[in-house]
Structure 1
Amino acid sequence: MVSAVEHTGSKSVAAWGAVLSMALCVAMLIASEFMPVSLLTPMAEGLGATEGQTGQAISISGLFAVAASMFITTAAGRLNRKWVLVAMTAFMLLSLVLVAAAPNFAVLMIGRAMLGICIGGFWALATAVIMRLVPISDVPRALALIYGGQAIAAAFAAPIGSYLGGMFGWRAVFWALVPIVAVNLIWHLVSLPSLPARRRQDFRTMFDLLTRPYFLRGLFAAMLSWGSAYTMLTYLRPFLEQVTGVDVTTLSVLLLVLGCAGFVGTWAAGRFLSDNVAPLLKMPALVMGACTLGLLTMGGSVFAAGLFLAVWGAMNTAISVIWMTWMSQNADDAPEAAGSLMVAAIQSSILLGAVVGGLLLDGMTITATFTGSIVLAGLAIALIGTGRHLLKPA
């Protein structure tokens, strides 16, 4: 595959400013998408809703992200991809304003739905755009910067959000993100080069991928793995408050431990991942499921909770590297279509996790929510097995 990097004479110009702008956009997307995790309790109180209902603010963004990831490349048609990315970032900006100013639960959900469109659209296009911004040999380094933005947001957004939310209120946290996204929007306009559409996306390519048994099994396994993770993560704050008995300060520290461990997970996955990805596919569900079980049995101890969250957090970032590597190796003939399907699968799993977890929390207890997460992890492990039947035939 040839990278469509802009040329000046005979020299390729790597648009690293644009890559960094996209990395900041990723950080803001992750921070915006999962900020309700650290602010679930005060948001529920402020909007007169239950914690389970407020958790659906994450599921609604996942629902619209699924739709956007499947349709964005087709709906955008021949539009210049630069302006599609600019539009997605503008949607995020408007979403944050609506959420911060939401007078009721309905407006909150509208704002989160708009964020979902931005998430699905951005991720569906991100890898293809990166391949056009830098020479093909620099693509791994550029993608590492993108995942770096994700790791930074995972490390600092939740603890800072919970801390500032405790001091100034949850609305102030969302308002604080608005000027950062506004700067990011301007940065896009300045740094992104013109990216004319190459060709119209065809749904037939996606359908062809879904007829491949190994790829379809992999999609379901990835969904179960992420579904298990977000059934637990979405409702982590109620667990730490009710079972571990933490205050806002301790909660912020534990969330910081979870997030910082993500840097270790990203580094380890990139360092030790080889061409033989099959044995690693079940690791995320196995390790994260075991940590969730550990929290259920020993989560009353702050030290034990911190230890399990550190291990869980490391695997929470490694999961993306592992499964995206699987995708690149087993759908290398249709990477854009595969990327859209993977984004849809991941966002569907986040939707699944938030919905199932919220129903279990409101209908039963937080213990039932975490048990549901463990069950989903077990199903993922059973489906993956050795991982060999998730690989394309040699």
Structure 2
Amino acid sequence: MTTNDSRTASSSVPPRPAWSAVFSLTLGVFSLVMSEFLPASLLTPMADSLAINEGQAGQAVTVTALLALLSGLLVTTATQRLDRRQVLLSFSVLMIAANLLVAFAPNLVWLLAGRMLLGIALGGFWALSAATVMRLVPEHDVPRALSLLFTGVPIATISATALGSYLGDLVGWRSVFLLATTLAMATLVFQAFTLPKMAPEHPTPLGTLVSVIRRPGIGVGIVTILLVFCGHFAFFTYVRPFLEIISGMGINGISSTLLAFGVANFIGTLAAGYLLERSLRLTLILMPLIMGTTGWLLFSLGGVTVETDALMVALWGFAFGAVPVAWSTWLTRVIPDEAESGGGLMVASVQLAIALGAAVGGVIFGIGGVLGVCATAGTMLLAGAALVLLGVRTHSTSPLEVGTKQC
């Protein structure tokens, strides 16, 4: 007995792709990620306004990541009996409430409360995103749909850092969060009109996370995700010191290089759909291989010319653009019957990698300087590429499908 359908959880997939719903999720990605990174560009005026120091204001980012990690792990269990449309809409409502709380926060406590709400929405949305896309488009369109979904990330990152800082000086940081609230409201309306009803397909108790990670190859995949994302964020956290110290760039050169990184990241996200339609494994290997090699080139050749450094940073951005899309596609291929639980594990892994990447980068920066960070990040990424080659499965580990294919 054989099967042509690699998704046991696909009974509710529509006969035609629901691209308008995918676009509404992309707008959700843009709104959530922009809200997530706004404090980074508004930290000083926020701290001054609330009479706190920058370190305390920076906790607005930390609590968001922590709650996103917990939400990603728990959302499938906490909402196992709820229509996925209602759950996704509730995340947009939480985003609206979060930005309003921040915009009108009189002190640090209210600021952190708003950011905690955003973390719940952020982690929950990312945990359900891949599984939702699987229910909105046919299987062959999933890589393209995920590529579209992730285009919201680089656009939002650029908007939050460049546009957020500019508007903060122009109209004040509270008004910037009110603008983010308006965008979140538009997201809610768009999603309300386009997302179909999606009933939960089967109960997902908390123990499902354990059973999923014990499947063949899944644990290795999670470790690889940690290595790849940790390597990226170790480098990216210290990219500005690299450009200042090693490349000798001024503020204009740094801004231009970071803009090039963002544009290349956007192009890489779009290219991911094309690459994944041809080979998932090759994409999973190639992107960290490019980034890891670039890390060692920056270590060896950094500072030779400003143009070379800028080009290598942009190349890193292009390669990383495909990474989240590739691993989300991997998720839909290897555990199609538990894509939501797998999404929770991936969200938790990425959030942990963000924290570890910044921490590891800080330690290495103190010991070996920014060039040491480049070498360390490159090594982690090359190790990730090697793990994909040697131990990461790219076919389904669903017990039902494995048994069906053996019949």
Q: TM class, shorter-chain normalised?
A: 0.7 to 0.9
Q: Call closer, same or farther: CA 1:295–1:149 in 2, change over 3 Å.
A: same
Distance in 1 between the 2:116 and 2:361 partners?
Answer: 19
CA distance in 1, matches of 2:79, 2:344: 14
Whether 1:164 and 2:167 are equivalent positions in the alignment is: yes
Choose 253-262 or 369-378, whichever is displaced more: 369-378
Deviation at 1:203, TM superposition (A): 3.2
- Matched letter for residue 315 of structure 1: A
Q: In the aligned structure 1, how far is the partner of 2:98 from the partner of 2:352?
A: 20
Give yes or no for contact 2:288–2:384 (8 Å, CA) kept in 1: no
Q: Is the 8 A contact 1:158 1:252 kept in 2?
A: no
Evaluate the alpha carbon distance shift between residue 290 and residue 108 of structure 1 in structure 2; reply closer, same or farther with a 3 A threshold. Answer: farther
Deviation of 1:369 (Å): 6.5
Shift of 1:80: 1.8
| 1:168 Cα offset (Å) | 4.2
38-47 or 266-275, which moves further after superposition? 38-47
Matched, 1:147 2:150: yes
Equivalents in 2 of 1:246, 1:100: separation in Å?
33
Gapped regions of structure 1 (runs ≥ 5): 7-11
Secondary structure of residue in 2 paired with 1:385:
helix
| TM-score normalised to structure 2 length | 0.80
CA distance in 1, matches of 2:164, 2:258: 10
- The whole-number CA distance in structure 1 between the counterparts of 2:116 and 2:393 is 35
- Displacement of 1:71 in angstroms is 0.8
Q: Deviations over 1:23-49 (max 9, x none)?
A: 100111122223344445655666643
Tell whether 2:115 aligns with 1:112: yes
* Cα pair 2:227 2:384 within 8 Å, conserved: no
Determine whether 1:180 maps to 2:183: yes
Q: Deviations over 1:233-264 (max 9, x none)?
A: 345456656774533x6554333211111232
Residue 74 (structure 1) aligns with: 77
Q: Distance in 1 between matches of 2:54 and 2:317?
A: 27
Q: 1:107-256 maps to which residues of 2 (within 5 A)?
A: 107-212=110-215, 214-237=217-240, 244=248, 246-247=250-251, 251-256=254-259
Shift of 1:56: 4.5
2:318 corresponding residue in structure 1: 314
Comparing 107-116 with 312-321, greater Cα deviation is found at 107-116
- Secondary structure at the aligned position of 1:175 is classed as helix
Q: How do residues 4-23 of structure 1 correspond to structure 2 at under 5 angstroms?
A: 4-5=12-13, 12=15, 14-23=17-26
Comparing 73-82 with 57-66, greater Cα deviation is found at 57-66
Q: Which amino acid aligns with 2:53?
A: A
How far does the alpha carbon of each residue in 1:279-321 deviate from its partner, in whole angstroms, 9 at most, with x for none? Answer: 5435444433454566666469754443233112112211112
Letter in 1 for 2:340: E
Cα-to-partner distance string for 1:85-130 (whole Å, 9 max, x where unaligned)? 1111111122222333444444433322221111111111122222
Letter in structure 2 aligned against 1:335: A
The answer to whether the 8 Å contact 1:165/1:172 transfers is yes
CA contact (8 A) 1:215 1:392 kept: no
Residue 343 of structure 1 aligns to which amino acid in structure 2? V
Q: For the Cα contact (< 8 Å) 1:231–1:369, is it kept in 2?
A: no
The aligned amino acid for 2:379 is G
1:42-75 C-alpha deviation (Å, 9 max, x unpaired):
5566664346x65553332222111111111110
Q: Is the 8 A contact 1:99 1:174 kept in 2?
A: yes
Instruction: Give the 3 Å change call, closer, same or farther, for CA 272–37 of structure 1 in structure 2.
Output: same
Matches within 5 A, 1:14-53: 14-40=17-43, 43=46, 48-50=52-54
Contiguous gaps of at least 5 residues in structure 2: 1-6, 397-407
For 2:298 and 2:47, locate their aligned partners in 1 and report how far apart those are by CA, in whole Å: 24
SS at match of 2:316: helix
Is the alpha carbon distance of 1:369 and 1:102 closer, same or farther for their aligned partners in structure 2, counting shifts above 3 Å?
A: farther
CA separation of 1:310 and 1:203: change in aligned 2, threshold 3 A: same
C-alpha contact (below 8 Å) 2:265/2:319 kept by paired residues = yes
SS at match of 1:196: coil
State the identity %: 37
Equivalent residues in 2 for 1:375-386 (5 A)? Answer: 375-382=376-383, 384-385=385-386
